[in-house]
Amino acid sequence: PLADPEEDDRISPISDRLMTELTAHRTLGLRQALGGNPDIAFLAALHAFTLKIFYQYGSDSCLELDLKSVSFGAQAPGLNDSTCAQAIRVRHDDWANALPKEATDLWDALRGWDRDRQAALFAYVVSMSVNAVHEAWNRR
């Protein structure tokens, strides 16, 4: 049944301040729980990184992990045609085909995988963050 419109007018949403306080408590609880469960912490990191690498809008995670991946075609002519680059593309395509089409299905899919398969995907997504290119303007 639909709610009475007059009743909706009497229901007020919680204030921004209360929402901030409640979600701060939730954040602490999640940190405490995650900090005591290495398997779920690993899975949460894998989930966040996989979202970033494989899904266009990879922000469906409350983890504030940052993973950057750049392409290097402009730095060295022909690099994208190298054996190494081709192997990485094949590996990427293999993983893309193994993952669910929708980001919302990723967590359940990863939970269903065995530890070796999770670790292999973790190795791949972390490898995509490697950037050892020396650029004169970027003195890291």
pLDDT value, residue 56: 80
Residue 50's Cβ-side half-sphere holds a number of Cα atoms within 13 Å equal to: 26
Residue 2 lies in a domain: no
Tens digits of residue pLDDT in 100-126: 999 999 999 999 999 999 999 999 999
| pTM over the 0.75 mark | yes
Q: What is the pLDDT of residue 1?
A: 52
Domain membership flag for residue 90? yes
- Per the domain annotation, does 139 fall within a domain? no
Domain holding 104, by residue range, is 12-127
CA neighbor of 51 nearest in space, from 117, 100, 7: 100
What pLDDT was estimated at residue 4? Answer: 61
136 within a domain of the structure (yes/no): no
The total domain count for the chain is 1
Looking at the domain assignment, is residue 72 inside a domain? yes
pLDDT at position 106:
96
Q: What is the pLDDT of residue 57?
A: 72
Residue 9, pLDDT > 80, answer no
Question: Domain for residue 52, yes or no?
Answer: yes
In this predicted structure, the answer to whether residue 5 has a pLDDT above a threshold of 70 is: no
